[in-house]
């Protein structure tokens, strides 16, 4: 027995799995914190190295070259070194949980960090959070696989990695746990929450050790919450919900357009040109945008006109509203161009960026109408509103912004904005930007337990292939011989040459004539068969399969492939048995 096998055996004999999961959650938290620190440090080093020579008041023509260069380098790294798709980190985690037994490839521990550092460091208009969440989840998944843990535990460790990543990069332990519960995982019990807490708190504590305990953004110049301002906060929530809808659908549409471009160099050319031009005219679109957020929270909006043609108008209200409204409008183009052209990054930072500016613009618009609205408060609350809308996660939006800024005194403002934004967007879009791609394919694991369990069921596990096949040209006599040797009461009718399903032959259709030998040569299967109430495609998601059964009232339905060839049968009883098995496996006793 080798050392690895002895280690596994010793662990199994001496450490209970429940305790071992707690130990692993601690390790994952430490690893996630170090990964977040390394990524943030790399991004800042690259940014400082290439922006130290920028002049504040002059238009900066380097913005036309640097972002495109970063996208090119990141794209080449992914294509020739990683050789795998590492974009849309949170969507990949959702897919791993829903469809891939919580297995995340080992290279995701480092590959998305390198690609996103290059992308964002050179000015890509995306965030580092989704890549680090994928990194943390990959650490959890691969540690679980290293110790041969089951799928249920792997799912929990993936969640621990995500919680640790959020806690580590934002110094937000509550948000780390809430994000994992609200965005990523199936129903969890208190037994499962404990490892998430350990990972998130450990990662946050190590981030304090590595980079200090200060909040990510300073937020000192705010006015206390007041009841008189609630109607305006509700308006802000509605606006944030509508902007979230624009953000979600716009990003999805633009990235779909980039996917239609067949040549990688065309993507880099178009995306790089688009991003560079946008950053040239709107410098706040450069990088993650956290400097912009800090400036707005401190009431220094005028410095965001640096490097622009509008620098001399930085104190005019009309120019401020127009300039920042255009930034909100074009941000999705900049982020989509970054990812679509081959860069790597997430939508955490873009949603915070757009939310902060949206809140600022709404407050300035209200002030222009004669109201007295504190722009810092609304910029602060707008971040929670956009994050809640885009991610469909009002609790995450509320607690993350409170922890990022230390603005707990305005928790009511955050809660109202987040909830109203969420209620607004779900009227139009049932899924978050992370989940909508999987939901469209029926591959999304949700908090709805019945649907979640159905998502975990795989078609290959419920298809029955032991039915006897009959052919259209067979006589009734030949059919009776097949029936006499079978223990099933339905028979697929298949073209002998092509294998294409022609119909089905239920026993009930021939029961009244099968004992009349004089009819054996008069009828053929083609005359006696019937068409099935519906056909199930082998690639159809299980939730849609159940919808077909519900709509047709059938108990058995044939399964075909994309060419119409017969694959097998699926029955309600088989699905229900598999459903009960999965439900028991993924429920705590």
Residue 329 binned pLDDT confidence (cut-offs 50, 70, 90): very high
Query: Is the residue at 422 inside a domain?
Result: yes
* Residue 384 confidence (pLDDT) above 90: yes
Tell me what pLDDT residue 450 has.
47
Q: Which of 18-32, 385-399, 430-444 has the lowest mean pLDDT?
A: 430-444
Answer yes or no: do 439 and 315 share one domain: yes
Answer yes or no: do 167 and 273 share one domain: no
Q: What is the mean pLDDT of residues 168-186?
A: 85
CATH number at residue 386: 1.10.3080.10
State the DSSP H helix or E strand holding residue 368, giving kind and residue range, or none if neither.
Answer: helix 348-368
Q: What is the mean pLDDT of residues 203-209?
A: 93
557 bridge partner residues: 570
Answer yes or no: do 457 and 439 share one domain: no
Tell me what pLDDT residue 59 has.
55
Answer yes or no: do 412 and 513 share one domain: no
Identify the three-state secondary structure at position 551.
helix
Pairwise CA distance, residues 87 & 112, whole Å: 8
Query: Is the residue at 488 inside a domain?
Result: yes
Query: Is the residue at 370 inside a domain?
Result: yes
Of residues 150 and 507, more confidence is placed in 507
Report the percentage of the chain scoring pLDDT > 70: 87
Of residues 504 and 308, more confidence is placed in 504
Residue 447 — φ and ψ, nearest 5°? -80, -10
Q: What is the mean pLDDT of residues 109-116?
A: 92
Residue range(s) defining the domain that contains residue 25: 13-211
Residue 359 binned pLDDT confidence (cut-offs 50, 70, 90): very high
State the DSSP H helix or E strand holding residue 463, giving kind and residue range, or none if neither.
Answer: none
Tell me what pLDDT residue 313 has.
65
* Residue 135 confidence (pLDDT) above 90: yes
Query: Is the residue at 463 inside a domain?
Result: yes
Of residues 205 and 224, more confidence is placed in 205
Q: Which of 486-490, 549-553, 563-567, 571-575 has the lowest mean pLDDT?
A: 571-575
Answer yes or no: do 317 and 439 share one domain: yes
Q: What is the mean pLDDT of residues 571-575?
A: 74
Of residues 215 and 295, more confidence is placed in 295
Answer yes or no: do 442 and 474 share one domain: no
Pairwise CA distance, residues 141 & 583, whole Å: 22
Answer yes or no: do 468 and 569 share one domain: yes
Pick the last residue of a domain from 179, 211, 243.
211
Q: What is the mean pLDDT of residues 80-102?
A: 76
Tell me what pLDDT residue 588 has.
47
470 bridge partner residues: 493
Pick the last residue of a domain from 182, 211, 240.
211
Identify whether the C-beta of residue 116 lies closer than 8 Å to the C-beta of residue 35: no
Residue 294 binned pLDDT confidence (cut-offs 50, 70, 90): confident
Side-chain-side CA neighbours of 584 within 13 Å: the count stands at: 6
Query: Is the residue at 113 inside a domain?
Result: yes
CA distances from 371 to 111, 276, 364 (A): 49, 38, 9
Closest Cα to residue 528, out of 464, 470, 569?
470
| Mean pLDDT estimate for the chain | 84
Identify whether the C-beta of residue 567 lies closer than 8 Å to the C-beta of residue 464: no
Q: Which of 9-23, 61-75, 456-470, 570-584 has the lowest mean pLDDT?
A: 570-584
Answer yes or no: do 259 and 204 share one domain: no
Pairwise CA distance, residues 125 & 235, whole Å: 28
Residue 447 binned pLDDT confidence (cut-offs 50, 70, 90): very low
* Residue 440 confidence (pLDDT) above 70: no
* Residue 129 confidence (pLDDT) above 60: yes
Query: Is the residue at 2 inside a domain?
Result: no
* Residue 109 confidence (pLDDT) above 80: yes
Tell me what pLDDT residue 61 has.
66
Pairwise CA distance, residues 62 & 218, whole Å: 29
Pairwise CA distance, residues 287 & 289, whole Å: 6
Answer yes or no: do 145 and 169 share one domain: yes
Identify whether the C-beta of residue 334 lies closer than 8 Å to the C-beta of residue 276: no
Tell me what pLDDT residue 143 has.
92
Residue 207 binned pLDDT confidence (cut-offs 50, 70, 90): very high
Tell me what pLDDT residue 585 has.
52
Tell me what pLDDT residue 530 has.
87
Query: Is the residue at 286 inside a domain?
Result: yes
Report the percentage of the chain scoring pLDDT > 90: 33
CATH number at residue 496: 3.10.580.10
Q: What is the mean pLDDT of residues 179-200?
A: 79
* Residue 103 confidence (pLDDT) above 60: yes
Pairwise CA distance, residues 137 & 497, whole Å: 49
Pairwise CA distance, residues 404 & 355, whole Å: 14
Closest Cα to residue 448, out of 460, 437, 434, 435?
435
What is the tens place of the pLDDT at every residue in 30-62?
999 999 999 999 998 988 887 666 554 455 667
Tell me what pLDDT residue 238 has.
97
Tell me what pLDDT residue 448 has.
47
CA 550 from chain centre, in angstroms, equals: 30
Q: What is the mean pLDDT of residues 6-23?
A: 83
pTM equals: 0.75
Answer yes or no: do 152 and 234 share one domain: no
Pairwise CA distance, residues 218 & 221, whole Å: 9
Of residues 237 and 104, more confidence is placed in 237
Tell me what pLDDT residue 576 has.
66
Answer yes or no: do 301 and 384 share one domain: yes
Domain count, the chain: 3
* Residue 304 confidence (pLDDT) above 50: yes
Q: What is the mean pLDDT of residues 471-485?
A: 90
Answer yes or no: do 177 and 314 share one domain: no
Pick the last residue of a domain from 184, 211, 238.
211
CA distances from 506 to 102, 231, 490, 529, 557 (A): 41, 65, 4, 8, 11
Cβ partners under 8 Å of residue 546, min gap 6: 454, 575
Query: Is the residue at 221 inside a domain?
Result: no
Tell me what pLDDT residue 164 has.
94
> How many C-beta neighbours within 10 Å does residue 506 have?
15
């Amino acid at each position: 027995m080798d050392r690895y096998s002895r280690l596994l055996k010793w662990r199994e004999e001496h450490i209970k799995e429940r305790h071992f999961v707690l130990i692993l959650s601690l390790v994952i938290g430490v690893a996630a914190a170090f990964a977040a620190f390394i990524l943030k440090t790399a991004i800042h080093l690259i940014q400082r190295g290439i922006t130290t020579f920028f002049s504040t008041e002059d238009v900066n023509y380097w913005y036309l070259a640097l972002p495109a260069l970063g996208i090119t380098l990141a794209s080449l790294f992914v294509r020739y070194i990683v050789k795998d798709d590492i974009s849309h980190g949170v969507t990949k985690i959702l897919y791993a949980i829903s469809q891939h037994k919580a297995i995340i490839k080992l290279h995701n521990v480092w590959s998305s960090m390198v690609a996103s550092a290059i992308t964002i460091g050179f000015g890509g208009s995306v965030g580092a959070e989704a890549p680090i969440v994928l990194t943390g989840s990959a650490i959890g998944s691969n540690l679980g696989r290293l110790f041969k843990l089951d799928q249920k535990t792997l799912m929990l460790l993936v969640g621990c990695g995500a919680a640790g990543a959020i806690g580590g990069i934002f110094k937000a332990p509550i948000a780390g746990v809430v994000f994992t519960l609200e965005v990523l995982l199936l129903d969890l019990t208190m037994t499962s929450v404990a490892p998430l807490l350990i990972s998130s708190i450990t990662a946050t504590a190590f981030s304090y050790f590595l980079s200090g305990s200060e909040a990510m953004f300073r937020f000192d110049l705010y006015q206390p919450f007041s009841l008189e301002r609630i109607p305006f906060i509700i308006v802000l929530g509605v606006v944030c919900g509508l902007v979230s809808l624009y953000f979600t659908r716009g990003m999805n549409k633009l990235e779909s357009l980039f996917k239609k471009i067949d040549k990688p160099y065309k993507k880099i050319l178009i995306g790089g040109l688009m991003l560079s031009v946008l950053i040239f005219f709107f410098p706040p679109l450069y990088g993650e945008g956290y400097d912009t957020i800090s400036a707005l929270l401190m009431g220094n909006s005028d410095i965001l006109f640096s490097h622009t043609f509008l620098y001399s108008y930085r104190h005019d209200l009309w120019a401020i509203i127009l300039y920042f409204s255009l930034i909100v409008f074009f941000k999705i183009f900049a982020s989509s161009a970054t990812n679509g052209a081959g860069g790597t990054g997430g939508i955490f930072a873009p949603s915070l960026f757009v939310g902060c500016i949206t809140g600022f613009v709404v407050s300035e618009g209200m002030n222009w109408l004669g109201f007295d609205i504190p722009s810092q408060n609304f910029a602060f609350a707008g971040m929670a509103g956009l994050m809640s809308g885009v991610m469909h996660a009002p609790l995450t939006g509320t607690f993350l912004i409170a922890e990022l800024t230390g603005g707990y005194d305005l928790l009511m403002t955050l809660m109202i904005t987040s909830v109203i934004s969420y209620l607004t967007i779900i009227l139009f879009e049932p899924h978050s930007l992370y989940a909508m791609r999987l939901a469209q394919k029926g591959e999304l694991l949700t908090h709805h337990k019945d649907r979640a369990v159905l998502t975990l069921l795989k078609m290959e596990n419920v298809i029955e292939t032991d039915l006897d096949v009959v052919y259209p040209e067979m006589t009734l006599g030949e059919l009776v011989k097949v029936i006499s040797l079978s223990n099933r009461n339905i028979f697929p009718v298949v073209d002998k040459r092509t294998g294409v399903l022609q119909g089905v032959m239920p026993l009930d259709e021939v029961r009244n004539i099968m004992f009349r030998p004089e009819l054996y040569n008069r009828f053929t299967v083609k005359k006696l068969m019937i068409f099935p109430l519906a056909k199930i495609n082998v690639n159809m998601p299980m939730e849609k399969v159940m919808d077909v059964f519900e709509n047709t009232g059938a108990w058995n339905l044939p399964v075909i492939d994309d060419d119409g060839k017969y694959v097998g049968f699926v029955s309600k009883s088989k699905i229900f048995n598999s459903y009960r098995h999965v439900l028991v496996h993924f429920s705590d006793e």
